[in-house]
Amino acid sequence: MSTENNDTMDSSQVYTMFEEVKENQAKQLTVIEKMFSKLVPASAAYTPALDPVDGEKIETLTEKLDRVDEKLNLPLKHHHTLDFMGNRALIALVLAVALIASLWIIDNQRKTLAGFRDNDLKYRYIQMRGEAAPADIERLRNVFDWNRNADSIRTIRRRVEQYEQLVQEQAENEAKARLNASEAERLQNQAETVKGGK
């Protein structure tokens, strides 16, 4: 039991120790208060007097700071919004870029289609001529590519279309002639059968 007394303290001893600590803190607090009271009047003697205008400014700033402090104490809420009407400049920029890109694409398509039309006309011209002589190819390159001549291109187009129309009419006439010849032969055969059947 004596070991227990050595290891544990009596509650009255703990209480007295707390009281001593409390008294020491009270003494230290009074010393600090005395020092502070000595400093405050000394510093007040050196502070310049404020203008009434400055005092009003300080009061308004203090009120604003209080309002900001109140707002800062509110819980933060995150709102993510996308306001297209507020970003008119961004929308205008996107539309301008889209318009320029569209015009560029349309121009490239127009040039590509014009190249296809030219190549088709060159092919039809060579087909009309029946051969592709170096002089003909050189002339076509000159007219279509190097020194583009709209009048010569129209002349070539007109000649090719006339040639194609004549070839089509000739094919139709030959088909009609073949049809007439086969019809004549059929009639001839019918007449022979009728004649032989008497």
DSSP 130-142: SS--HHHHHHHHI
Half-sphere exposure of 80 (CA within 13 A, CB side): 0
Distances (CA, A) of 25 to 12, 31, 62, 84, 103: 20, 10, 35, 65, 85
Distances (CA, A) of 13 to 4, 5, 190: 15, 12, 151
Residue of 162, 125, 155 lying closest to 140 (CA atoms):
125
Dump pLDDT digits (tens) for 88-140: 777 888 899 999 999 999 999 999 998 898 888 888 888 888 888 888 788 88
pLDDT computed for residue 99 by the predictor = 95
Helix H segments across 47-149? 52-72, 88-129, 134-141
pLDDT computed for residue 71 by the predictor = 65
pLDDT computed for residue 1 by the predictor = 44
Amino acid at 132: A
pLDDT computed for residue 107 by the predictor = 94
Please check whether residue 165 is in contact with residue 173, taking contact to mean a CB–CB distance below 8 angstroms.
no
Instruction: Flag residues of the chain having pLDDT under 50.
Output: 1-4, 43, 45
pLDDT computed for residue 2 by the predictor = 46
pLDDT computed for residue 69 by the predictor = 66
